[in-house]
Every structure is written in C-alpha cells, then in structure tokens.
Homo-oligomer: A and B are copies of this chain.
Amino acid sequence: MVIVLQKGVTDEQIEEVSARLRQAGLGVHLSQGHYRTIIGAIGDEKKVREMGLEALSYVEKVLPITKPFKLVSREFQEEDSTFTVGDCTIGGRQLVVMAGPCAVESEEQLLEAAYGVKAAGAQILRGGAFKPRTSPYSFQGLEEKGLKLLARVREKTGLPVVTEVMDQHTVGLVAEYADILQVGARNMQNFYLLRELGRLDKPILLKRGMSATVEEWLMAAEYIVSGGNHKVILCERGIRTFETYTRNTLDLSAVPVLKHLTHLPVIVDPSHGTGNWRWVPAMSRAAVAAGADGVMVEVHPCPEKALCDGAQSLTVEKFAEMCRQLAAVAGVCGRMLPQVTA
C-alpha cells in the first residue's frame, strides 16, 4: 500500500501513521516528494486495507499496490485450470458449448431442446429449474420437479447439465442433480451461497454481477476457492450501461483481461449479454475469437412460446448454423469444437 498524505502534514501525523503500520507488523518506507509525502507500507496489504487510514483527515488516499485476490491469480498458479465434466474438459484446447432453454418447462420441451443442441454440437445442457425473476408475478421455475427433468434428460441424451442454484440451503439439493452449479448475476455477491459452494466438489459456473468489476468478480471466485473448491468457471454475461439497444453491454474485453489475471476458465453468455437472439451468433463468434473457453447460449424449440426470455433464445436451426461458425473460428484460433464440421 502507498499512503498519500495531505499537503502540509506534520511530522507528528507522519509518525502517527508510521507507528500504526509498525504495530501491525508492517515495514514503513517514507518518501518525501516536492508536492506530497507518501508512506509505503511493506508487507501484507490486507492489514492496511483494514486499518481505515482514510478516516484520518490528513490522509488523502490509500493506493493498493497488489491485487486483493490470491488463490485464483495467475501469480499463484501459472498454468490454466481445467475441469472435466463427463467427456468434456473445460478450460483446455477444446471449446465448450453449453446450450438449452432459459427455463425447464416440461419434459417434451427439454428433451426436444437437448436432442437439438446435442446434434448441433453442444456438450452440456443448460436449463433453469429455479428462476430468479424481477417480478413476483412471473413464472418462478419448476424447482425440484425441474431438477428431476434435467436428470432424466441427461440420462436419455448423455449431456451433463448445468443449472442455477439460488440459495445456500438448496445447494445440496441442486448438487444431487446437476453436474455444474450456476451462480446467477444477482447472486455473485451472495457470500453465504459462495461459502457453501466452497465446500462442494463440483464445478461452479460463476456469472459476473450486473455491475461487478473484474476485481469484485475474482474476489467472489476467491470466496469459493478459499473454501476448498477450486473448480470455478467464470461467465461474462454483460454489464449495465446507458445503451438501450442491447439489454446489457457484453464486456468481451473482460476475456483477455481475465486470461491475464487468473488461471480459471472463462466462458461467455451472449444471450443474456445482448438480450436479443439476433446478436447472439455474432457475439458468440467474437467471444471465441477473444479467447473465451466456451459459450453458453439459450436455445428453445419454439422461442415465441417460451415461458421466459424467448426474445433472446435461438431456434435449434439457428443454433446449429452458429455452431458451424464457431467451429471455424475456433479452428483458426488454436481451439477446436470436434463434434462440429465447420
């Protein structure tokens, strides 16, 4: 940490800060410039973060030097993390495509979607049983019945399933049925849920909060990893800006930034990221070209009859066409999508 003091700070005030740092076991490095006196605190930044030095009227600002996340950082582990789910390896050379309906509605709907996306090249089936909805009057999901349908469809199609868990107390229930547990954007900082997921031994797909910085997102991942579960997949799904033509602004630059900062796999959800099926194929191709380890896409047998988010769902046909494009882009970016002929 670097502590910047106000102009005109006295020697007593400098000593006051220095004494506090030394008490906390930190080294003190004083630097007197022409315009400002600054103090470098040498040692564990966490201690300085918690000292509340900004509360002192003669402290102008406290600048962090190191990053607050550790276990998830590239500095801690240089090589990419990879996790295996069924036959599929996430984070390796092979691109991962997760697809399926926003919400599980019925066995017929889910089965039709699952067969369709599998034939098109998806390796993992997505589908929501618990649905976080902005309105209390909207369809809230089939809950446990939905989980059972997911399991049944996995048996028939062989596709592992990813589904959302909304609450620490249903983690056990969802983990019984799901191969990957998804944390939604609204729950990215539900710390009780994150801690509970830290005790599991299943991959967690952690969506970025709607206005979360990359650093906060990695800190949320750190919660899970520091709890003992290192299998975290980060999923970019758009952030909130002033633009209204798209539901959110898909932040694809987060992909190379994350690849630099962390060893965890990164996937992209262009369906929620844009909110409109029209832009999904282009943004999926872009995600792969930016270096994402995979995409997660909403596909519905009949989008205009979907109980949830039909406007952003692809038909099976459009999804198949998109997978062919992804395979081609993957091929020239050092990745592959083996089930699909470009």
**A residues bordering B, Cβ < 8 Å?**
2, 4, 7, 27, 29, 31, 33-36, 38, 40, 42-46, 49-56, 63, 65-66, 68, 75, 132-140, 166-169, 186-187, 189-192, 194-195, 210-211, 213-216, 219, 222-223, 226-227, 239-246, 249-257, 260-261, 270, 273-274, 276-279, 282-283, 285-291, 300, 303-307, 309-311, 313, 325, 328-329, 331-333, 342
| B285–A289 CB distance below 8 A | yes
Chain B residue, CB-CB nearest to A256: B282
Q: Known contacts A190-B190, A279-B257: does B249 contact A55 (CB below 8 Å)?
A: no
Enumerate chain B residues within 8 angstroms of A305, measured Cβ to Cβ: 52
**Distance of A16 from chain B, by nearest CB (Å):** 9
| B243–A214 CB distance below 8 A | yes
Most chain B CB inside 10 Å of its own CB: which residue of A132, A136, A226, A251: A136
**Distance of A17 from chain B, by nearest CB (Å):** 10
**Distance of A209 from chain B, by nearest CB (Å):** 8
Q: Known contacts A65-B38, A286-B286, A289-B286: does B243 contact A213 (CB below 8 Å)?
A: yes
| B55–A304 CB distance below 8 A | yes
Enumerate chain B residues within 8 angstroms of A311, measured Cβ to Cβ: 52, 54-55
Enumerate chain B residues within 8 angstroms of A331, measured Cβ to Cβ: 332
Most chain B CB inside 10 Å of its own CB: which residue of A137, A274, A331: A137
| A222–B135 CB distance below 8 A | yes
| A139–B50 CB distance below 8 A | yes
**Distance of A49 from chain B, by nearest CB (Å):** 8
| Apart from A51-B310, A214-B243, A285-B289: 4 A-B pairs, beta carbons within 8 A | A55-B311, A239-B243, A249-B253, A289-B290
